[in-house]
Amino acid sequence: MLLQGKNALITGAARGIGAATVEAFAAEGANVWAFARTPDPALEARCQALSARYGGWVRPLYADLADEAAVSAAVRAAMGDKLPLDILVNNAGMMGEDKVFQLTPVEEMRRLFEANFFGPVVLTQLATRWMARKRKGAVVNVASVAGLDGSSRLDYSASKAAVISATRTMARELAGAGIRVNAVAPGYTDTDMTRGLGEKVEQEAVARALLRRKGKPEEIAAVIAFLASDRAAYVTAQVWRVDGGIL
């Protein structure tokens, strides 16, 4: 198994790509702190079921990534388990409303950047200090093809472009501590967030992909698991497109 005996912290764990990644990691032998914004009985039941199914442990952890104090408290709570941290997956994020940038209040853009960029940066600062005790670790940031190619949503595209740039800077700074940092850039993936975009957006996205279909959350999760594993020990500072072949 790719992640046997590894301990991972995965954000956005309640649904979509995050939920698929939690299950993929558990199936590959990892123990997981499943990080979500608010207490969720469904997530807690899923954690118990995954622990029973795969034999490791999966534990919920809660904090709003926009609240730096809450994030710090959640990390301290996880560290209280007296276990090393091997992997961080920064998956949580938001898309915001579909508005042209000229009509989007800057405060809305700031809130989106708090969730998509600043929150993950704060969490990565805390997590990599924890990882550095072993002088080995892996961070995988979930960006988007919108951060590479742009999109009609300025704030979302810009926040994901910031994640991509940060990935490369983090990789450069943390290499000396034995920590690898990579990103995945999913294309149109079948999640609650993309379903809210409407049928026209979906049809256009599918038409752009060579495979002519939406991605599945578990397909993104499989790439995340590989990048987090020792199989990718010589991979860092990279952004992997998982988009069905957008050219």
- What is residue 14's predicted lDDT score, i.e. its pLDDT? 96
**Contact by Cβ (8 Å): 83, 7:** yes
- Whether 2 is in a domain gets the answer no
For the segment 169-199, what is each residue's pLDDT rounded down to a tens digit? 999 999 999 999 999 999 999 888 787 677 8
Mean pLDDT, rounded, of the chain: 93
**203 falls within a domain:** yes
Residue 99 has pLDDT above 80, yes or no: no
Determine the straight-line distance between the first and last CA of the chain, rounded to whole angstroms: 33
Q: Are 32 and 101 in contact (CB under 8 A)?
A: no
72 within a domain of the structure (yes/no): yes
Residue 20 — very low, low, confident or very high, per pLDDT cuts 50/70/90? very high
Task: Identify which has the larger pLDDT, 32 or 151.
Answer: 32
At 176 the pLDDT is: 96
Residue 1 lies in a domain: no
Residue 69, SS3? Answer: helix
Grade residue 63 by pLDDT with cuts at 50, 70 and 90: very high
CB atoms closer than 10 angstroms to residue 121: 15
Q: Of 54, 62, 156, 188, which one is the catalytic site residue?
A: 156
- Residue listed under structure tokens 């940092």: 181
**Beta pairing, strands 87-90 & 137-142:** parallel
Task: Give the closest residue to 97 by CA, choosing from 153, 33, 165, 28.
Answer: 153
**Does residue 54 have an active-site annotation?**
no
Which residue carries 């914004």 as its tokens?
37
Q: Which amino acid is at 129?
A: R
Length of the chain, in residues? 247
pLDDT tens digit string along 122-170? 999 999 999 998 889 999 999 999 999 987 788 999 999 999 999 999 9
For position 98, what pLDDT does the model report?
A: 66
Q: Is residue 246 part of a domain?
A: no
Mean of the pLDDT values across residues 113-123? 95
What CATH number is attached to the domain comprising 44?
3.40.50.720
Name the one residue in this structure whose structure tokens are 């118990």: 48
201-228 mean pLDDT: 94
Give me the pLDDT at residue 193, please: 77
Q: Residue 138, Cα to own-chain centre: how many angstroms?
A: 12
- Asked, for residue 210, whether it belongs to a domain, the answer is yes
User: Is residue 186 within 8 Å of residue 20, measured between CB atoms?
Assistant: no
- As a whole-number percent, the residues of the chain with pLDDT over 70 amount to 96
- Inter-residue contact 144 to 246 (CB < 8 Å): no
Inside any domain, residue 27 = yes
pLDDT over 90 at 106, yes or no: no
- pLDDT for res 96: 67
| Overall domain count for the chain | 1
3-state secondary structure of 10: strand
Domain holding 78, by residue range, is 7-240
